[in-house]
């Protein structure tokens, strides 16, 4: 069974560790958001690609969700001491990845090629494809506490300012002019099952679907598409999706997250504690809705969740 997953960072990474236990990793392709990529210290940083790579290689920091286990931040400490840009916590091991990626990109390799070389070197057994090789950037238009309008790159809003601004709109710069990276369209068209990971619908999965051609290709496979709600009991399990979903007119519930994917889903997995929403989602979107434990505390629970999602759609 060939499985293609659309993924953000942390929620997706946890889930994908379970998925590659539920199906042979060689049959799995992960298409990852790159719209929150940034350049800092002259380095190309791809947070979601790295989160997925670290989780799948077993190198991730499980507590933090992003970055590496046993990480040190000595270089960052020095940057801070010098008065440099230290708001984004790049660890010493993590920096090694960004340096290598930037070096290879500079020599003319595509982000797809670089991502593949890095995932192989770190022992990731399935394919990881950045959604595009083109520059696509999420910008957050917001109003600060003093009522002043501002516009920030996603990571500045999210990490630099701790998501404290009142968000008015989300812009995807470059999306309309981007193309899916090599392999993405084939991976969508050729999959037996497409999975929308428990990721932020607004800033992780939204950008993937905004790459021209991808949304239509997913919609064409609708009866093979299953998603897992990142919203449990009316709140994100981690992160700040609750600040961004309302901007897109979506209520912060498992039903609101499903509506973000209207016309794209054949099945939707929600948590047991949201069972009360099941029939209304089913009726509204005309899809199969499955109820199970969706909180992933370890690889075993992620594997059970992946198995449940596959069964819901692959009847």
Interface positions with ligand GDP (CB under 6 A): 8-12, 14, 48, 51, 198-200, 204, 228-230, 232, 236-239, 241, 294-296
Window contacting ligand FO1 (CB under 6 A); options: 4-12, 182-190, 255-263, 298-306: 4-12
Nearest distance, CB of residue 107 and ligand GDP, angstroms: 28
Cα–Cα distance between 260 and 206 in angstroms, integer? 8
DSSP H helical segments within the chain, as ranges?
A: 10-22, 47-57, 74-82, 92-106, 111-121, 154-155, 184-189, 206-210, 214-219, 241-244, 254-259, 278-285, 299-313
Secondary structure class of 141 (helix, strand, coil): strand
Q: Which of 3, 5, 6, 10 binds ligand FO1 (CB under 6 A)?
A: 10
56-95 residues in contact with ligand FO1 (CB under 6 A) are: 66-67, 88-90, 94
* 136, 212 contact by CB (below 8 A): no
Q: State the binding partner of 236 from ligand FO1, ligand GDP, none, CB within 5 to 8 A by kind.
A: ligand GDP
Main-chain phi, psi angles of 96, to 5 degrees? -60, -35
CB nearer to ligand FO1: give 42 or 263: 42
290 touches ligand FO1 by CB under 6 A: no
Q: State the binding partner of 158 from ligand GDP, ligand FO1, none, CB within 5 to 8 A by kind.
A: ligand FO1
Nearest to 46 by CA among 106, 108, 76, 90: 90
55 touches ligand FO1 by CB under 6 A: no
Nearest to 198 by CA among 155, 237, 240, 251: 237
- Contacts with ligand FO1 by CB under 6 A lie at 8-10, 36, 47-48, 50-51, 66-67, 88-90, 94, 155, 158-159, 204
């Amino acid at each position: 069974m060939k499985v293609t997953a659309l993924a953000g960072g942390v929620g997706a990474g946890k889930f994908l560790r379970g998925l590659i236990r539920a199906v042979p990793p060689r049959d799995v392709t992960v298409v990852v958001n790159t719209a929150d990529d940034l350049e800092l210290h002259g380095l190309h940083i791809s947070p979601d690609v790295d989160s997925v790579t670290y989780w799948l290689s077993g190198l991730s920091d499980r507590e933090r969700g992003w970055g590496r286990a046993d990480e040190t931040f000595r270089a960052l400490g020095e940057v801070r001491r010098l008065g440099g840009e230290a708001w984004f916590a790049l660890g010493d091991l993590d920096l090694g990845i960004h340096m290598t990626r930037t070096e290879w990109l500079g020599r003319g390799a595509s982000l797809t090629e670089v991502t593949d070389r890095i995932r192989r070197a770190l022992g990731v057994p399935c394919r990881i494809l950045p959604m595009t090789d083109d520059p696509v950037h999420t910008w957050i238009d917001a109003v600060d506490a003093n009522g002043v309008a501002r516009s920030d790159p996603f990571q500045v809003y999210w990490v630099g300012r701790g998501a404290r601004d009142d968000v008015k709109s989300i812009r995807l710069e470059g999306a309309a002019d981007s193309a899916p990276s090599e392999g993405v369209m084939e991976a969508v068209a050729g999959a037996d099952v497409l999975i929308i990971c428990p990721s932020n619908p607004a800033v992780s999965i939204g950008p993937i679907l905004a790459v021209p051609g991808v949304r239509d290709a997913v919609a064409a496979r609708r009866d093979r598409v299953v998603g897992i709600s990142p919203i449990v009991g009316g709140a994100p399990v981690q992160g700040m999706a609750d600040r961004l979903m309302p901007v897109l007119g979506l209520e912060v519930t498992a039903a609101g997250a499903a509506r973000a994917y209207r016309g794209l889903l054949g099945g939707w997995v929600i948590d047991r504690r949201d069972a009360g929403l099941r029939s209304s989602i089913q009726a509204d979107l005309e899809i199969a809705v499955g109820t199970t434990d969706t909180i992933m505390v370890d690889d075993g629970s992620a594997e059970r969740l992946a198995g449940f999602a596959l069964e819901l759609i692959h009847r």
